């Protein structure tokens, strides 16, 4: 969850001379910022440095990151006519810088598990229509209600772009790929089943077909969607801190892994809060009857930029105390 992000002074140093997108487009620098947290903390895994929105740039929606304002798109899809301007060709070569970054990271961190990722079709659709971040994506939800056929078609095209992107990252050496359905949580369960689930299933089916046995994780930033998210058929489910770890593991059964769920604000709250949260995860992993299937310790959402690096070291130490009974 954005482990290489803005909380590390050495990352901010790299960013002094380079815009975020220039960084993402430079595989060697992506390698450097992905390695930075591995030098500091005893982590088991690394994630390729990129962003979920690069796909929107590649289809011609014109991505920009402005200081303090978050991402904006120069060419959002506000009407059905706008959708016809998008260019779905050659995405593999347009996004090739990320596959190169995966290859470099595979070689540079041979002993770490390596994650690739992409945004979910619905989450990409949210940015594509809204043209920027939003708390409720009202314009996007209105578009989806007003133009259901164009929406379904765009979600399918996005699903094909997302699966192609994940397949290339797996082929370049990623051990697992995570799909971020960050904005699935703005939908109620019925709407989510209609607007996000079908394209998530389409992604899972294409990836599993192209890379048999591929490990896939699905992150939904919402506790109320855990049961529905399990229907997408991914090999693991990544939990926001509003989800119940106990319920998720019960629902996931013995074949689906779990990940995440740690409240990212404990890292700002001092040693006692950190130890208490690690102990909570330990307790909840051992509740129930499940055993035999993994849990990836992680935050429930991206690390906050104001996190002191020492707090991450403390969390790693506290997590190492959790007895493992697999
Ligand atoms: O190395 C890593 O930690 C992995 C990198 C990673 C980034 N973005 C890098 C990044 C990952 C996994 C993402 C995913 C991502 N990007 C998501 C899904 C995860 C989530 O947060 O729910 C979303 C919604 C985005 C879109 C995005 N990118 C936003 C909203 C922002 C914040 C913009 C702002 O100014 O607040 C970004 C920028 C971004 N992506 C940064 C990083 C390290 C910060 C860039 C910087 O200022 O240097």
Give me the phi and psi of 42, to 5 degrees please.
-80, 65
How remote is the CA of residue 49 from the centroid of ligand 1, in Å? 9
Residue 239 lies in a domain: no
- DSSP string covering 1-35, please? --TTSTTSHHHHHHHHTS-HHHHHT-HHHHHHHHH
What's the chain's average pLDDT? 94
| The residue to which tokens 């009407």 are assigned | 79
Residue of the CA atom closest to atom 10 of ligand 1 = 51
Residue of the CA atom closest to atom 35 of ligand 1 = 70
**Shared-domain flag, residues 153 and 37:** yes
**Shared-domain flag, residues 225 and 99:** yes
Residue 4 lies in a domain: no
Q: What is the tally of helices (H) and strands (E) in the chain?
A: 16, 9
Give me the phi and psi of 215, to 5 degrees please.
-90, 125
**Shared-domain flag, residues 79 and 216:** yes
3-state secondary structure of 293: coil
Distance CA 185, CA 122 (A): 11
Residue 280 lies in a domain: yes
Distance CA 165, CA 205 (A): 14
Q: Is residue 40 pLDDT above 70, yes or no?
A: yes
**Shared-domain flag, residues 225 and 258:** no
How remote is the CA of residue 1 from the centroid of ligand 1, in Å? 9
Distance CA 169, CA 102 (A): 7
**Shared-domain flag, residues 82 and 174:** yes
End residue of a domain, out of 183, 199, 234: 234
How remote is the CA of residue 25 from the centroid of ligand 1, in Å? 14
Percentage of residues of the chain with pLDDT beyond 70: 96
End residue of a domain, out of 209, 234, 259: 234
pLDDT at 294: 87
Instruction: State both tokens at 194.
Output: 């209609």
Residue 32 lies in a domain: yes
Residue of the CA atom closest to atom 2 of ligand 1 = 2
Query: What residue ranges line ligand 1, CB within 6 angstroms?
Result: 2-6, 15, 20, 34, 47, 49, 51-53, 70-71, 117, 133, 180, 182, 221, 302
Atom of ligand 1 nearest to the CA of 5: 43
pLDDT at 208: 98
Question: In Å, how far are 30, 34, 35, 166 from 43, measured between CA atoms?
Answer: 18, 12, 11, 23
End residue of a domain, out of 169, 201, 234: 234
- 97 catalytic, yes or no? no
**Shared-domain flag, residues 221 and 80:** yes
The one catalytic residue in 11, 99, 127, 234 is 127
**Shared-domain flag, residues 148 and 220:** yes
Q: Which range, 62-66, 229-233, 293-297, 302-306, has the best average confidence (pLDDT)?
A: 229-233
How remote is the CA of residue 117 from the centroid of ligand 1, in Å? 12
**Shared-domain flag, residues 315 and 226:** no
Report the side by side order of strands in the sheet with 45-47. Answer: 45-47, 113-119, 176-181, 215-220, 236-239, 257-260, 295-296
**DSSP letter assigned to residue 325:** -
> How many domains does the structure of the chain reveal?
2
Q: Is residue 257 pLDDT above 90, yes or no?
A: yes
Q: Is residue 203 pLDDT above 60, yes or no?
A: yes
Residue of the CA atom closest to atom 36 of ligand 1 = 70
Under 8 Å between Cβ of 198 and 231: no
Residue 1 lies in a domain: no
The one catalytic residue in 11, 12, 13, 15 is 15
How remote is the CA of residue 51 from the centroid of ligand 1, in Å? 6
Q: Is residue 291 pLDDT above 60, yes or no?
A: no
Question: Which residue range forms the structural domain that includes residue 62?
Answer: 9-234
Residue 241 lies in a domain: no
In this structure, what CATH number is given to the domain that contains residue 15? 3.20.20.210
- 51 catalytic, yes or no? yes
- This prediction has a pTM of 0.96
- 234 catalytic, yes or no? no
Residue 21 lies in a domain: yes
Residue of the CA atom closest to atom 24 of ligand 1 = 182
């Amino acid at each position: 969850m954005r482990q290489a992000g803005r909380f590390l002074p050495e990352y901010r140093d790299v960013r002094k001379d380079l815009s975020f997108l220039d960084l993402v487009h430079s595989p060697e620098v992506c390698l450097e910022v992905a390695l930075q947290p591995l030098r500091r903390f005893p982590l088991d895994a690394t994630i390729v440095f990129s962003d979920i929105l690069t796909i929107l740039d590649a289809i011609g929606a014109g991505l920009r990151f402005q200081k303090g304002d978050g991402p904006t798109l120069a060419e959002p899809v506000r009407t059905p006519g706008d959708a016809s301007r998008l260019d779905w060709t050659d995405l593999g070569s347009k996004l090739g810088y990320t596959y190169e970054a995966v290859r470099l990271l595979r070689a540079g961190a041979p002993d770490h598990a390596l994650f690739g990722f992409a945004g979910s079709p619905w989450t990409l659709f949210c940015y594509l229509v809204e043209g920027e971040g939003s708390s409720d994506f009202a314009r996007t939800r209105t578009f989806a209600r007003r133009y259901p056929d164009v929406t379904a078609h765009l979600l399918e095209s996005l699903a094909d772009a997302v699966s192609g992107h994940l397949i290339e990252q797996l082929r370049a050496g990623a051990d697992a790929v995570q799909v971020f359905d960050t904005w699935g949580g703005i939908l109620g369960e019925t709407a989510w089943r209609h607007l996000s689930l079908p394209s998530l299933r389409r992604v899972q089916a294409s990836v599993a077909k192209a890379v048999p046995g591929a490990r896939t994780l699905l992150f939904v930033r919402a506790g109320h969607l855990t049961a529905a998210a399990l229907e997408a058929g991914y090999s693991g489910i990544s939990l926001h801190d509003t989800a119940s770890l106990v319920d998720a593991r019960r629902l996931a059964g013995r074949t689906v892994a779990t990940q995440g769920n740690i409240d990212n604000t404990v890292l700002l709250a001092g040693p006692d809060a950190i130890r208490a949260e690690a102990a909570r995860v330990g307790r909840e992993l051992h509740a129930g009857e499940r055993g035999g299937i993994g849990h990836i310790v992680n935050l429930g959402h991206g690390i906050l930029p104001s996190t002191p690096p020492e707090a991450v070291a403390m969390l790693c130490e506290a997590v190492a105390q959790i007895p493992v009974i697999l």
